[in-house]
Structure 1
């Protein structure tokens, strides 16, 4: 009997010791990554504070933290979320803290427990909806990561959980491959900024905002070249073009009507809207002396055809006169070249029907030919008719040969013949002299 009693007492003591050891061990496991020897809630020291003091300390910390937006970034996409949307449950957090740090009456010899717990946050469907709008992200994982960082009032930069973006390369929507112009300076600096860019449904894209301060790393030729590649690719999609400026001069790459330019000083941008129901992805790569840009997606519902209509515009011939040239000589100072009036239309075929959109009407002015001619007249001989009442055909009027600036050229352009090609204004319209 005595032996049985001793065994019973020993068993009770073992159970009692295990009971005391388990809670302490659990706490050490849960918060082993924090070496602070004072209890905290969301990193705020609450050791030795009463309930009201804890409320004040947490409220001040939350107000400071929510002054800055939460930035969620991943897969080439970044959005900002107003941190004040989060609702922190301070009362429940304090109750949890009190429960974990409460010392049983029978463990009076133990020191106070040190715990480091997060703030409790109420569910927020509005934030979850904002995250769900990014199709390339895993909504639940990204949402949980955001709450986890917010519950400890940590960094405002949240790394989104990105899905496998290769699914958005199943269908090609557009493809452009062009030789890099020789005067383009390091256009590859812009490649990594555009490559793997995801464009969500109803999302607006701005090239100036995407390139940001990296614009200063390249020259204008590189900017315009990359902008033209992107615009030419967008033309092959259903995306709505919001802003685009053409180069006015015919580029050496792409066809007329497919070019674009950027101007930081004038805030001239290339903007378009993904007005479809699917996510699009921009892929850019440099292969030797060529650059390749394509737009892909996980689906392709409609076919898009681009048509360019061109009208040739003849250049004018402008004559200038110089007394330095021998009699009868002339010199071409500037070769002329044709201009164009270009109309770009886009046809979208969907569900057996077609929709035609006029995208742009561009004007590329002709380059006038400038010819320098001798202003010397043949010497007259005795008996020749020197009457000033008659003028010699196709000879300049000496009264018009006025050189006020001393450059050797007349300041007034003298038309030599009436068969001058038509004149065009900046809009490409014929101006009647």
Structure 2
């Protein structure tokens, strides 16, 4: 019995000696490993150096990289930093997996506890389970392998669909008793439309598809304006949006998105987020219902009309031999003009963080035109009852003779429209006077009177 025990002790000693010998041999082999030309660890060159030299060099390189470490975590519309102390570089693991003559990754370790603390502080309304924390940490470690700073990491790339459920981030509704079959098809086609990350969405492209059928400009404007009202409740960027020449009775000023097929006027917007959104649309209970669904935003977006100013129409008197004495013919009823300014507030927990200018919509007034009889004491030139007549006589023409001179027409071109692009830019509109400057056209001030002509 004692002899067997001694044999077991001797065998265990020989086995441990052999293991130690092989271990030291492996370490020696590892330390003597030489890296050939074009061997990189991230951006760091360790070519033509042995393992010990490479380790010393990487210790210095990683120390410098740690000092300039900048990792920005992005969730939808918010960005925040991950503290550098939450990230550690593993030199031994990096060198052990490095292949000579190749570009090799940097191995890092992200503290799960540190990451969880940051996420709970910055996104308190979202509960991240352990699996999501591990997945996000793995994603950060993977993206840090290049060693290039700064590094922006979209955490939504590394969390599952069920971690943060989709919800309606915006909604809009328009009451209407009945709609055409073409508009019904358009609503059905718009329903379940997906706006991909960083994708631009065009209403003209969708509404002119063959399966919908012909839609009138009014129907296209209706659907686009409902969608526009919802888009303003998100952080989506407005690429193209237009208004009509006169105030629409169907929409609140500032919230119209006019469409015109012959002029190619479209409504376009872009999703600036890393996640997709789905448009839901339906007509039921005497109303068109529309919503945008996706991962919730951090901020709340609220559009509002901050200022509205009206411009009264003026009365233009014209004289004609076709009008009998004592008679006044109203050839055009007047209509007020309007300017509406829309802004979008971005807030969190009831506190306004930023206010964004969206649009300044201007509708020129339509002037009232009255035609009086032409008598020996009256001039054939039109008369403006409540404005400086010199503006017309010096800068623009409003009356033209026709036929043999027995009839005079003085109608003014009251049509006015502009396109609003990129939230607050006007096409063919002067920023100081908000007047149209297209070559060959009369230029009007905000009251609708001409200030110059060609």
TM-score when scaled to structure 1?
Answer: 0.50
Structure 1 or 2: larger strand share?
Answer: 2
Higher alpha-carbon Rg: 1
TM-score when scaled to structure 2?
Answer: 0.48
